[in-house]
């Protein structure tokens, strides 16, 4: 049995789904791609049993076959070849694989594709469609805020909350929270799913940054993302998400409007002198001036800068984690941001001064108790 495919095209398809493969899986066959060939089409599968990816491409083939192909070896050989047609010869008895091109031949041990785990069936309870660039943006602007503590699994994923004619993408680790609302995605239902971080990072890599429609099907167990020739399937987190809306303060009378890049640059410099344990920076706003300072008492380091801003409210001091602020300011777009504050012991909001069309984004950061210095 054999098939012929362009080496660069095949390599690109393999790289698209390679992220779902574990380096040392419990089941050895999961180190392989499944090649399923029939009707001049090659379907490629990869899975770690939690996340599965598939893609397909046209090939020249006269027979049907299923074979498990060593993932690292086939990618390495295709990477090293110039762009040219390559022939895969598969022994129907031993499943040995021979890759042949104009320069030479390369043999590797395959396995019977019948032993490869089956993909979850897509019996969807709900479905909606979203452009790839909007989904990519929504994941990129929120996922960094999700937690990594396996003892709090409900905080380790992205909460997708369907509200009929809009969708909220929410991530939090209890110290910071991001909610991005898309008003141009109509799901027609009110529902929610909680998606783990790993498959979303794979999705970010695979999604095209254009208006390619992505069909999102889901049930109580899995979510299925289908776009172009590619499909990603992942198991949902079966956890209850916290009532995130309850922690977003509604009354924030103290509003700082400031240059996003000036603030980010200042925090980058000041945080060099902050405690490496707490990364605390102090904000002191008086009139139209924001003073940012930090100190590390043990190392006798300290720094202070002043930045002009627009301020409405009462003078105040508040402490924040510099790492969290840098992540937020780096993720936001626009020239200016607003810091909306209520009290030194209450969460602060970081939002763009002007939101993108059809999008609202709110970032919340918990304060830190200030040391008196």
End-to-end CA distance of the chain: 76
285: helix, strand or coil: strand
Write the class of the CATH domain 2-115.
alpha beta
CATH pick for 248-365 out of 3.20.20.120, 3.40.50.300, 3.10.150.10, 1.10.8.60 = 3.10.150.10
User: In this predicted structure, what is the pLDDT of residue 21?
Assistant: 93
* Phi, psi (deg, nearest 5) at residue 105: -140, 145
Task: Give the integer Cα–Cα distance in Å for 276 and 61.
Answer: 60
User: In this predicted structure, what is the pLDDT of residue 247?
Assistant: 93
**Exposed e or buried b for every residue in 214-233, given b needs 16+ CB within 10 A?**
bebbbbeebbbbbbeebbbb
Tokens (6 digits) for 353 = 């001064």
Each residue's pLDDT, cut to its tens digit, for the chain (373 residues) gives: 889 999 999 999 999 999 999 888 889 999 999 999 999 999 999 999 999 999 999 999 988 999 999 999 999 999 999 999 999 999 989 999 999 998 899 999 999 999 999 888 878 889 999 999 999 999 999 999 999 998 999 999 999 999 989 999 999 999 999 999 999 999 989 999 999 999 999 999 999 999 999 999 999 999 999 999 999 999 999 999 999 999 999 999 999 999 999 999 999 999 999 999 999 999 999 999 999 999 988 888 999 999 999 999 999 999 999 999 999 999 999 999 999 999 999 999 999 988 888 999 999 999 998 866 4
User: In this predicted structure, what is the pLDDT of residue 371?
Assistant: 67
Domains 2-115 and 248-365 share a fold: yes
User: In this predicted structure, what is the pLDDT of residue 120?
Assistant: 82
- pTM confidence score: 0.92
DSSP assignment letter at 18: G
User: In this predicted structure, what is the pLDDT of residue 373?
Assistant: 46
Tokens (6 digits) for 253 = 């009378």
User: In this predicted structure, what is the pLDDT of residue 356?
Assistant: 82
Write the DSSP assignment of 213-268 as a string of letters: EEEEEE-SSEEEEEETTEEEEEEPP--PPP-GGGGS-S---EEEEEEHHHHHHHHH
Q: Are 234 and 49 in contact, with CB atoms under 8 Å apart? A: no
Task: Give the integer Cα–Cα distance in Å for 150 and 170.
Answer: 18
C-alpha 231 chain-centroid distance? 16
- Residue identified by tokens 């098939």 is 3
User: In this predicted structure, what is the pLDDT of residue 372?
Assistant: 60
Helix, strand, coil share of the chain (percent; to 5):
25, 45, 35
User: How far is residue 137 from each of residues 1, 4, 154, 166, 331, measured CA to CA in Å?
Assistant: 43, 37, 22, 15, 10
89: helix, strand or coil: strand
User: In this predicted structure, what is the pLDDT of residue 1?
Assistant: 81
Report the relative pairing of strands 310-312 and 301-308 from DSSP bridges: unpaired
Write down the domain spans for the chain.
2-115, 126-243, 248-365
Report the relative pairing of strands 157-163 and 65-70 from DSSP bridges: unpaired
The CATH classification number of 126-243 equals 3.10.150.10
Query: Which run of H or of E encompasses 13?
Result: helix 7-17
Tokens (6 digits) for 164 = 């009929």
């Amino acid at each position: 049995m054999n098939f012929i495919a362009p080496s660069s095209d095949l390599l690109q398809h393999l790289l698209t789904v390679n992220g779902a493969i574990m380096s040392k899986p419990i089941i050895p066959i999961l180190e392989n791609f499944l090649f399923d060939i029939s009707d001049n089409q090659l379907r490629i599968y990869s899975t770690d049993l939690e996340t599965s990816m598939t893609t397909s491409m046209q090939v020249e083939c006269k027979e049907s076959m299923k074979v498990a192909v060593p993932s690292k070896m086939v990618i390495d050989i295709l990477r090293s070849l110039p762009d040219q047609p390559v022939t895969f010869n598969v022994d129907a008895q031993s499943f040995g694989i021979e890759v042949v091109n104009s320069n030479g031949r390369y043999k590797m041990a395959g396995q019977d594709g019948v032993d490869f785990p089956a993909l979850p069936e897509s019996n969807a309870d709900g479905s909606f469609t979203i452009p790839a660039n909007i989904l990519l943006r929504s994941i990129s602007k929120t996922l960094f805020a999700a937690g990594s503590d396996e003892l709090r699994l409900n905080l380790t994923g992205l909460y997708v909350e369907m509200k009929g004619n809009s969708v909220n993408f929410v991530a939090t680790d209890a110290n910071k929270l991001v909610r991005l609302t898309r008003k141009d995605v109509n799901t027609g239902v009110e529902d929610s799913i909680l998606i783990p971080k790993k498959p979303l990072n794979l999705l970010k890599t695979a999604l095209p940054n254009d208006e390619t429609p992505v069909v999102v099907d889901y049930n109580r167990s899995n979510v299925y993302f289908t776009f172009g020739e590619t499909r990603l399937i992942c198991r949902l987190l079966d956890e209850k998400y916290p009532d995130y809306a309850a922690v977003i303060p509604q009354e924030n009378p103290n509003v700082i409007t400031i240059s996003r890049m000036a603030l980010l640059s200042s925090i980058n410099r000041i945080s060099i002198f902050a405690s490496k344990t707490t990364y605390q920076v102090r904000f002191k706003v008086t009139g139209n001036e924001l003073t940012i300072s930090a100190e590390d008492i043990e190392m006798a380091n300290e720094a202070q800068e002043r930045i002009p801003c627009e301020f409405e409210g009462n003078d105040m001091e508040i402490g924040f984690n510099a790492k969290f602020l840098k992540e937020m300011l780096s993720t936001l777009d626009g020239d200016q941001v607003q810091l909306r504050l209520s009290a030194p012991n209450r969460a602060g909001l970081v939002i763009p001064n002007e939101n993108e069309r059809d999008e609202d984004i709110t970032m919340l950061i918990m304060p830190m108790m200030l040391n008196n210095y």
